[in-house]
Structure formats: C-alpha cells, structure tokens
Amino acid sequence: MVSTLPVVERFHSLQGEGAHAGRSAFFIRLASCNVRCSWCDTKNSWSENESPQESIVNLSKEVAKARSNGAAFVVITGGEPLHHNLSPLCDEIRKVTKQQNRTPISIHLETSGVDPITGNPDWISLSPKRHAPPRLDLLKACKELKVVVHEKEDLIFAEKVAKKTRSFKKPLLFLQPGWQNTEGQKLAFEYVKRNSQWRLSMQTHKWLGIL
Ligand code: SF4
C-alpha cells in the first residue's frame, strides 16, 4: 500500500486555468513525468528522485486545513500525476475531509492522459500532447479538454482529440496559448473567435505573477 508520494510543492492559491479559473484551490504537484514536452514550464517536476516523499496522511490533513481556509477543491497536478497510483491519496483526502465537513472535498486532476485513471477524481482536466496522445479512458472521462497552442498543427490536433471525445461526455473545450508564445496567442484567439465550441484559457496566475 502506497503511503508516501514525491511532492514538488503544495500551496493554496487560485486556479489559474480552464473552467475553474479564479476559484480558491489547494494544489499538490507530484514529481515524475516521462512525457517531456520541450516547452514544459515545470521541468523541475520531471525527476521523481529530486523531490521529497511526503506522507499521504499529512498531505490530506493539509488539504483539510486549506479547505477550512477557503479552498473549494484540491488539484492534483504534476509532473504527470497518473504515473502514480492516486487511489491511496484520493481515498485518504476523501476520508479526512468527510470527517471534517460531512462532504468530501472535490478532487480535481490535471493530466496529459498517458496512464490509466486512478483515484476516481471528480473533475479531470485533460491536456493531451501531440507527441504522446491520450488514452481512451481519459478521453471518455475528462470534463475539460485543454490543448496548448504554439503552432497551427496544435489546432489540427485539438480538433482531432475533441472529435474523439464527442462520442462520450462532450467535455468543455479550451485552447490555451503557450506562455509568452505570440504565435500561439494569435492562433488560439482567432480560432476561438471563429469556432464557438472552443473557449480561450489564459494562465491568469502567470499574468498576475502569483503561484
Ligand atoms: S506533460 Fe506536463 S509536466 Fe510533463 S513535460 Fe509535458 S507539460 Fe511538463
């Protein structure tokens, strides 16, 4: 039974991206990612060995404390969090926060979708990558699809993945310009203007210069 996970950082802030942007959330950033996007902004999360192993029990207590201080949900992110079995962490978070407030806190997961789902998250934000396409179970289960745009090929990829999700739950569709990528900003802006099923996701935390 997993009792610890490698944690790069955890913090209470506002969700900066996607459908829940602007809401208070507690973030747990797990280490390890083999997807290796060239433009990754969290390369410090790639290696599992450089981050301390943290106790799942303690992390769950921190989630409960953040909830007392206003967090509406917890976000498990990375890295690629599904490289790990998330069931023990999610079960413990649900147990502790249910004891605290009768209803367990909502658990959000941010993933590229290359591994099977574990932990039964309440909200899945799928951010698939062109060089490592997502698994079918993630396409079926995601509630938002968020494609990062740097160049035209990303828009083609976004439509291809969106088409695959449409026969399932029809997630909210977001295009998110790569950070400080002028070409990506123009492409995403113009595409969303002409295609009403898509929305623009901006990394508001970066614009505001906060975590
Ligand atoms: S999947 Fe996410 S964490 Fe992993 S390399 Fe790509 S952007 Fe970075």
In this predicted model, what pLDDT tens digit does every residue of 165-182 receive, in sequence order? 977 778 999 999 999 899
Q: For a pLDDT cut of 70, what percent of the chain falls above it?
A: 100
Q: What is the mean pLDDT of the chain?
A: 95
The atom of ligand 1 lying closest to the CA of 33 is 4
CATH of residue 53's domain is: 3.20.20.70
| 45 CA distance to ligand 1 middle (Å) | 8
> Span 126-146, mean pLDDT?
96
Ligand 1 centroid to residue 195 C-alpha, Å: 27
Whether 150 is a known active-site residue: answer no
Domain limits at 192? 4-208
Q: Which of 41, 50, 153, 190 is catalytic?
A: 41
- Please give the average per-residue pLDDT across 143-148, as a whole number: 97
pLDDT confidence bin for 209, thresholds 50/70/90: confident
Task: State the pairing for strand pair 172-177/106-111.
Answer: unpaired
pLDDT per position as a tens digit, 42-91: 999 999 999 999 999 999 999 999 999 999 999 999 999 999 999 999 99
Residue 207 clears pLDDT 90, i.e. is over it: no
Instruction: Please indicate whether residue 40 is annotated as part of the active site.
Output: yes
Ligand 1 contacts (CB < 6 A) are 33, 35-37, 40, 42, 45, 78-80, 112, 129
pLDDT for 76: 98
Nearest CA to ligand 1 atom 3: 79
- Kindly indicate the confidence band of residue 8, based on its pLDDT and cuts at 50, 70 and 90: very high
Question: Which pLDDT does position 204 carry in this prediction?
Answer: 87
In total, how many domains does the chain have? 1
37 is catalytic: yes
pLDDT higher than 90, residue 134: yes
